[in-house]
Chain A
C-alpha cells in the first residue's frame, strides 16, 4: 500500500500535477504582478516606458519559469541543494573578481545575456542548501557543535562575499534567510537569545566600525529632520508621500510626490511609497492582505508537505519573504534605517524577482508533489 502510494505520487500525470496547483497562491502572485505592473506604469509617468516594459518581460518570463519549476519533482530541487549553493557562491566570487561597479558598489556580474546580482539569488539558495543540510539530521544532532559550526560557515561565507561588495543590507537579509532555517531546524532557543543579547551589547562597537555612509544612515534614521535636504531627504519625502496619500490615496497616476520627482528610488526600494501615495491606506492594506495570503499559503503548503525538506523550506521561505516585506515597508515608513532591500515582486529589479520566483517555484513544486517523500 505504502509502496503503491509512493509509486503513484512519483508518476503524477501532467493534468494531475496541474490539478495539484495551489491556485490561491498563483492568483495572488499574478495579482501582485499586475499591481506591480500598474505601479511601474505610474513610475514611468503614466506611459509605457522602459521600466514598465522591462518589468513586464521579467514578470512574464519568471512566472512562466515558476510554473515550469512546479512541474519538476521536489526531489530534484532537494538534490541540487548543495550544488546550487556552491554555484551561487562561485558567482559571488566571480562578482568580487570581475563584477560591474555601479554607484560605488560591485554587486552585478555580466553573464553575457543578463546582468545578475548573485547576492539576491543567495537569499533563496541558502535556504535550499540549509534545508537539505538539516533534512536528514536527527534532532539530537542538530545542536551539536559540528552542525552549528557548519551551518554558520554556510551562512557567513556568502555574507562575507556580499559585505565586501559592499552591500550590508543584502548580507543581513541573507543571514536572516539562513537563521530562519536554523530556527525551524530546531537549534536551541538559548543560542538565539544569546545571539540577540550579544548583538545588542556589541551594537555600539559595530556602529563604530561602520562605514561613514552607513553611520549616517543610522543617524538619519534616528533624526531625519537634522539634514532634510541631505541624508534625511529620502525618508522625509517618503513619509510625506505616504502620509499625504490619506485613506483612499491621491488616485492612480496622481501621486504628486512621485511624478514631480520628489521621491527617490521610486522604481526599486521606494515602490511601496508610491503605491501607498496613490492608493492610500485602503490600497496599502489590500496589498498587505495579498502578501499575507501568499505567506499563509506558503506556510500551509509547508504544513501539508510530507517531506521534511519541503516543510523546512516553505516555513523558512515564508519567514524570509515576510522579513523582506517587513524590512522594506518599515524602511519606507521611517521605522528602520535605510537599508537597500527591495519589496518582493513589486520592486523593479531582475535578480530579486528571479530569486523570489525561484522560491515560489520550489514552494509550488512542493505543493504539486506534496506526497513525495525524500529518503
Chain B
C-alpha cells in the first residue's frame, strides 16, 4: 500500500512536470499563431486587400463611340447609326435549342450563318453574351420584338455602329472601319488601350490616319465576380468619351459630281483651294461601298471588288503614278523662262517630227505646227517646241523646278501611308538608281512628260494650284483645324525667281483653253465668272510603234489597256483664280476630249458653291 502510494506520488510528480512543459510549449505555439495572424491581418493587410479586390472586381470595357467625319458644311460623311442587334446569354435561356431554332426561322438564317452562331456559342462561357445577329433590319428587329414572349433570354440591343451615308463617294478619302485585328492592336497604342472584342477600327484612309483622335474612350463597367468569373453585381459605371469629330475641307457636292463624272471609268479627280491648300474634292474611281466592310465583307463582294480590272482598291489620286504627259509643259516652260533659256519671242519650227541624236521624235500633230512661240506651243501643246526647250534646258534644271512645285514628293506628308512619291528624274538619280548615265534623248521625252517621269494626280493638282496662285508654296490639307498651329514656316514663300515668268505661263495656259486652236478650246466657258484655264495631257502607256503611228487608230479601236491616259489640269476663275484641279481618266484616250469636259462641269459647280463656302468662313470669324 505504501509502495503503491509512493509510486502514485512519483507518477503524479512526473505527469505534473510534463504538464508544465506541455503548457509552456502550448503558450509559445499560441504566441506563434497570434503573431502570424498579426502579420497577415495587420502588417500585410494592404497587400492582401489589394489581392482580394483583384480577385473579386473585374472590369468590362464597352466599345467606345467613334468620332465622326463631317464635310466643310457639316454634312455627316462618316457617322454612327444605331445597329439593331440580337444578344443571347446562353445560361439565361431555359431551352437553348428551342430558342435558337426559333430564331433561325424568324431571322431566316442560312445554314452557314446558323452554324457560325452555334460555333460561336461553343467558344464562349455560358454567361457571356452571344451575338446572334449584329445588324438586323428594322423589319426583322420588330418581328423579334413581337415574338419576345416565347424567346426567353433573347435580348434585342441597339448598338452604335459606323455608317457611311454617301457610300462610295468618300471611300478612298475617308476609308472604312472594320474589326480590329492583331496587327492593329500592336501597331496603335490607342487601339490597344481601348480594345474590346468586336471593336471596329480604321483600316485605310483618314479613318486609319486619325485613329487616335477618332477612337474615343471605353465605357467601363466594374462588376463584382465570383471565382468562376460570373458577374454578381455592378459596382460602377464609368462613361467613356466619344471620339473627336473631324471636319474636313471637302465639299460633298463637288465630291459627288467627281464620282458621277468618273462613273464606269478608272481615274481620279482632285480640286484644291489655291490659297489655303484646302482640298475641295478628292476622288478615285472606281470606288466601292465602305459600308460593306463594317460588319465584315462577304466573300462574294470581296472577290467582286478584288478582281475588278479597274482596281477599285487602289487610291489612284495618291497611289497612281502616271506619266504627266503634256500637263508637265507649264513646268518645262516655266523652268526654261526662269533659267533664261528661252524668252517669249523664242520660236521653234514644228514639222510634225524632228531628228535629234539620230532618233526621230514625233509631234502629236503629224502635219506640224509651223513656227511656234512659247504661248502658241503651250496653247496647241506642240511637242516639237518642248523637245527643243527641254534639250536646251537639260533635265537637272527641269527637275529642280518640278520639285519646287511639289512633284516627286508626298503631298500630304505622313497623312496617308499609301501615298506615292512619284518620280522626277535627273542625271544623279539615274546613276544611283539604275547605274547608267543619262541619255540626252531621255531629256527630250521628259520635256513632254514621258519617260521616267511619274506624278500622282494630287501632285499635278498642287503643281497647278501653285502656278495659279502666282507661284507661292501652299500645303494641301483635308482637315479643318480650328487652332491655327503648326503652320509650316515656308508657307507662301515664292517658288519663282521672277513673278513675270509665272504670269507668262498662266497666260499661255489661258490661251490653251480660251483661244481658237487651243487644245481644250471646246471645253471653255466664256462667262468670266466661270472662265478657267487648263492644260491637257495625253500620257502614253506604251511606246507607239511606227506601224501604229501609220495606222492612226481612233481610241475605241485600241484595246482598253493600251489606250492613252487622259489628263487635264486647270485653274479658275481666270480673272481671279481660286481653285485648281486635276483630272485623270485612265485609258481615257485623249486629254482634250475626255478629261477637259469634266473640268467644265466641275468649275461650274465649284464656283457656284464658292459663295456658300466663303459665307461659312466669314461666319466663323463673326462668331469670334
For B12, the chain A residues whose CB sits under 8 A away are 308, 311
Q: Which residue of A lies closest to B14 (CB)?
A: A186
A326 at the B interface (CB under 8 A): yes
B226 / chain A contacts, CB cutoff of 8 Å: 260-262
A122 interface contact, C-beta 8 A: no
Spot the interface stretch: A16-24, A149-157, A240-248.
A240-248
Q: Which of B7, B14, B26, B48 contacts A243 (CB 8 A)?
A: B48
Q: Which of A1-9, A61-69, A202-210, A327-335 contacts B (4 or more CB under 8 A)?
A: A327-335
Q: Smallest CB-CB separation from B26: which chain A residue?
A: A322
Given contacts A315-B19, A322-B26, contact A333 B36 (CB under 8 A): yes
Identify which of A75-83, A90-98, A276-284 touches chain B: A276-284
A262 to B56 alpha-carbon distance, docked (Å): 9
Which of A138, A260, A329, A330 is B56 in contact with, Cβ under 8 Å? Answer: A260
Known: A139-B10, A241-B52. A184 touches B33 (CB 8 A): no
B428 CB–A CB distance under 8 Å: no
Chain A contacts for B47, CB-based, 8 A: 243
Binary contact track A48-79/B, C-beta < 8 Å → 1, others 0: 00000000000000000000000000000000
Chain B 1-26 near chain A by CB (<8 Å), digits 1 or 0: 00000011011101110110011001
Residues facing B in A252-291 (CB within 8 A) are 256-257, 260-262, 276, 280-281, 284-285, 288
Which chain A residue shows the least CB distance to B7?
A138
* Min distance, Cβ A203 to any Cβ of chain B, angstroms: 21
Question: Contact check: which of B16, B48, B225 meets A242 at CB < 8 Å?
Answer: B48
Chain B, residues 25-66, CB within 8 Å of chain A (1/0): the string is 010011011101110111011011101100110000000000
Whole-angstrom CA separation of A303 from B15 in the bound complex:
10
B32, B38, B52, B225 — most chain A CB neighbours (10 Å): B52
User: Are the CB atoms of A308 and B41 closer together than 8 Å?
Assistant: no
Interface range for B: 35 or more
- Nearest Cβ on chain B to A241's Cβ, whole angstroms: 7
Report B222-239 residues with CB < 8 Å from chain A CB: 224-228, 232
CA distance A260 to B226 in the complex (A): 4
Q: Which residues of B contact A322 (CB under 8 A)?
A: 26, 29
> Do B41 and A245 touch across chains, with their CB atoms under 8 A apart?
yes
User: What is the minimal beta-carbon distance from B374 to any residue of chain A, in angstroms?
Assistant: 82
- Name the residue of chain B whose CB is nearest to the CB of A330: B33
Contact in complex: B41, A240 (CB < 8 Å): no
Say whether B55 contacts A257, CB under 8 Å: yes
A315 touches B15 (CB 8 A): yes
**Residue contact B37 to A276, C-beta cutoff 8 Å:** yes
Select which of B48, B49, B227, B232 is within 8 A of A239 by beta carbon: B48
Q: Across the interface, do B49 and A243 meet the contact criterion of CB distance under 8 Å?
A: yes
Contact A288 B41, beta carbon cutoff 8 Å: no
Contact indicator A333/B33 (Cβ below 8 Å) = yes
Residue A292 interfacial (CB < 8 Å): yes
| CA A305 to CA B187, docked complex, whole Å | 82
Chain B residues whose C-beta falls within 8 Å of the C-beta of A276 in the assembled complex: 37, 41
* B8 proximity list for chain A (CB < 8 A): 308
Q: Is the CB of B40 within 8 A of A184?
A: no
Please tell me if the beta carbons of A243 and B33 are within 8 angstroms of each other in the complex. Answer: no
Find chain A residues with CB under 8 A from B232 CB: 260
Residues of chain A in range 301-322 having any CB-CB distance to chain B below 8 Å: 302-303, 308, 311-312, 315, 319, 322
CA distance A186 to B191 in the complex (A): 75
| B291: min CB distance to chain A, Å | 44
Let me know if A184 and B41 touch, CB within 8 A.
Answer: no
Which residue on chain B has the smallest CB distance to residue A308? B11
Contact A184:B15 (CB < 8 A) given known A243-B47, A244-B52: yes
- Residues in A neighbouring B228, C-beta threshold 8 A: 261
* A261-B228, A319-B22 as given contacts; A246 in contact with B49, CB under 8 Å: yes
Q: A276 vs B228: C-alpha distance in the bound complex, in angstroms? A: 23
Which chain B residues lie closer than 8 Å to A245 at the CB level?
41, 45
Q: How far is the CA of A329 from the CA of B41 in the complex (A)?
A: 14
Which residues from B are CB-within-8-Å of A285?
Answer: 34, 37
Q: When chains A and B are docked, how far (Å) is the Cα of A311 from the Cα of B19?
A: 10
A105 to chain B, nearest CB (A): 24
CB-CB under 8 A from B29, the residues of chain A are 322, 326
B18/A186 in contact, CB under 8 A: yes
A34 adjacent to chain B (CB < 8 Å): no
Q: A260-B56, A261-B228 are in contact. Are A244 and B26 (CB under 8 A)?
A: no
Alpha-carbon distance between A241 and B34 when the two chains are bound, in angstroms: 16
Cα of A237 to Cα of B49 in the assembled complex, Å: 12
Contact A239 B33 (CB under 8 A): no
Bound Cα distance A260, B55 (Å) = 9
- In the complex, A355→B105 CA distance in Å? 64
| Interface contact B227-A262, CB-CB below 8 Å | yes
Contact A239 B40 (CB under 8 A): yes
Indicate if the CB atoms of A281 and B48 lie closer than 8 Å.
no
CB distance from A304 to the nearest CB of B (A): 12
Q: How far is the CA of A241 from the CA of B55 in the complex (A)?
A: 10
In the assembled complex, the Cα of A278 lies from the Cα of B65 at a distance in Å of 42
- For A246, the chain B residues whose CB sits under 8 A away are 41-42, 45, 49
**Which residues in B have their C-beta under 8 angstroms from that of A183?**
18, 22
Query: A237, A247, A288, A312: which contacts B34 (Cβ < 8 A)?
Result: A288
Contact of A244 among B22, B30, B32, B48 (CB under 8 A): B48
B9, closest chain A residue (CB): A139
Task: Name the one of A247, A262, A295, A335 contacting B45, with C-beta atoms under 8 angstroms.
Answer: A247
In the complex, what's the smallest C-beta–C-beta distance from B298 to chain A, in angstroms? 41
> Whole-angstrom distance between the alpha carbons of A247 and B226 in the complex?
24
> Quick one: which of B36, B41, B49, B232 has the most chain A CB within 10 A?
B41
A330 to B37, CA, bound (A): 10
Q: How far is the CA of A276 from the CA of B40 in the complex (A)?
A: 11
Bound complex: CA A245 to CA B48 (Å): 8
Q: Would you give the shortest CB distance from B23 to chain A, in whole angstroms? A: 7
Query: Which residue on chain B has the smallest CB distance to residue A315?
Result: B19
| Residues in chain B near residue A333, CB distance under 8 A | 33, 36-37, 40
Verify A303–B19 contact, CB threshold 8 A: yes
A243 to chain B, nearest CB (A): 3
A64 to chain B, nearest CB (A): 30
B209-259 interface (Cβ within 8 A of A): 224-228, 232
**A247 to chain B: which residues have CB within 8 Å?**
41-42, 45
Q: A244-B49, A288-B33, A308-B11 are in contact. Are A299 and B19 (CB under 8 A)?
A: yes
Q: Which residue of B lies closest to A134 (CB)?
A: B11
The answer on a CB contact under 8 Å between B26 and A256 is no
Given contact pairs A243-B48, A245-B45, a sample of 5 additional A-B residue pairs in the complex whose CB atoms are under 8 Å apart: A183-B18, A243-B41, A244-B48, A256-B52, A333-B40
A-B contact pairs, 30 of them (CB 8 A): A139-B7, A139-B10, A184-B19, A184-B22, A186-B14, A243-B41, A243-B45, A243-B51, A244-B48, A244-B52, A246-B42, A246-B49, A247-B45, A256-B55, A256-B224, A257-B55, A260-B224, A261-B226, A262-B227, A281-B37, A284-B37, A284-B41, A285-B34, A288-B30, A299-B23, A308-B11, A315-B15, A315-B19, A322-B26, A333-B36
- A-side interface residues toward B, CB under 8 Å? 138-139, 183-186, 237, 239-247, 256-257, 260-262, 276, 280-281, 284-285, 288, 292, 295, 299, 302-303, 308, 311-312, 315, 319, 322, 326, 329-330, 333, 335
